[in-house]
Chains A and B, each alone.
Chain A
Amino acid sequence: EAQVTQNPRYLITVTGKKLTVTCSQNMNHEYMSWYRQDPGLGLRQIYYSMNVEVTDKGDVPEGYKVSRKEKRNFPLILESPSPNQTSLYFCASSLGHDDSVYGYTFGSGTRLTVV
């Protein structure tokens, strides 16, 4: 089944404790991205990657890191999480930058709480 897999689904952590949210896709998509979703603010892009070893900042990159060492994986790293990073996070992938006819495929989301 074609899908984007995120883990974990839920995470509660403490301020300052480094964490990684994993994202993997099995569709051989070149384009991957991370979004955070907060009430009233919609989906805001954190980082994106147009291909292996190519990453760039989105609209809200502060406090986050990413890497793209393999085509299928695009982990999101919070080196020192803070409470304002409490949010619902989505990983997405697509064939290309333009979502075109098939659109972006989203993972199931990771609900992160930083206390």
Chain B
Amino acid sequence: GQSLEQPSEVTAVEGAIVQINCTYQTSGFYGLSWYQQHDGGAPTFLSYNALDGLEETGRFSSFLSRSDSYGYLLLQELQMKDSASYFCAVSPPSEAGTALIFGKGTTLSVSS
């Protein structure tokens, strides 16, 4: 089976840095992705790590370590608009007969 674990909630203040961790148990996957979802809205793609290491996209960075079965999303210079749910997801190999598998999500609350 395949599963991803994330903290259910994280709180932070404006301007701070927050890290959302994702640990996974899967036999293999193409890469680790992160999605953002504002309340009731459509999930939107944030980042993708195919290889180990850090990927940076503006204020957001994502990290993957396949040897540790671990990844994280780093949000810097937090803004109120970053309050949302964040999901990590893995793409299993096509032979597995399924598609993008999501963690249950982390709700980030940013306060002033």
Residues of A at the B interface (CB closer than 8 Å) are: 31, 33, 35, 40-45, 48, 50, 56, 58-59, 88, 90, 92, 94, 97-109, 111
Complex partner residue of A99 from B40, B44, B45, B97, CB under 8 angstroms: B45
Task: Say whether B104 contacts A41, CB under 8 Å.
Answer: yes
Interface size class of B (residues with CB under 8 A): 20 to 34
- Cα–Cα distance between A43 and B104 once the two chains are bound (Å): 7
A61–chain B nearest beta-carbon distance, Å: 11
| 4 other A-B residue contacts (CB within 8 Å) besides A45-B99, A106-B43 | A45-B100, A48-B99, A100-B31, A103-B45
**Contacting residues of chain B (51-95) with chain A, CB-CB under 8 angstroms:** 87, 89, 91, 94
* In contact, A56 and B100 (Cβ under 8 angstroms): no
A98–B42 CB distance below 8 A: no
Q: What's the Cα separation between A104 and B35 when bound, in Å?
A: 9
User: Per-residue 0/1 for B11-44: is the Cβ within 8 Å of any A Cβ (1 yes, 0 no)?
Assistant: 0000000000000000000110101000011111
**Is B89 a contact of A109 with CB atoms below 8 Å?**
no
B42 near A99 (CB under 8 angstroms)? no
* In the bound complex, CA of A27 to CA of B31 (Å): 22
Report A-chain residues with C-beta under 8 Å of the C-beta of B108.
none
Contact A102 B45 (CB under 8 A): yes
CB-CB nearest in chain B for A33: B99
Bound complex: CA A92 to CA B87 (Å): 15
Question: Which of the residues A41, A88, A97, A108 comes within 8 Å of B99, measured between beta carbons?
Answer: A97
Asked if B45 contacts A104 (CB within 8 A), the reply is yes
Q: Which residue of A lies closest to B44 (CB)?
A: A106
- Closest-by-CB residue of B relative to A106 is B42
Instruction: Report A-chain residues with C-beta under 8 Å of the C-beta of B105.
Output: 42-43
- When A and B form their complex, which 10 residue pairs have the shortest distance between CB atoms, in order from nearest? A103-B45, A42-B104, A106-B42, A98-B30, A43-B102, A98-B91, A48-B99, A97-B94, A106-B43, A42-B102
Closest to B94 in A: A97
Q: Which of B33, B48, B87, B97 contacts A42 (CB 8 A)?
A: B87
Nearest-Cβ distance from residue A103 to partner chain B, whole angstroms: 3
A41 to B8, CA, bound (A): 11
Q: Which of B42, B101, B103 contacts A107 (CB 8 A)?
A: B42
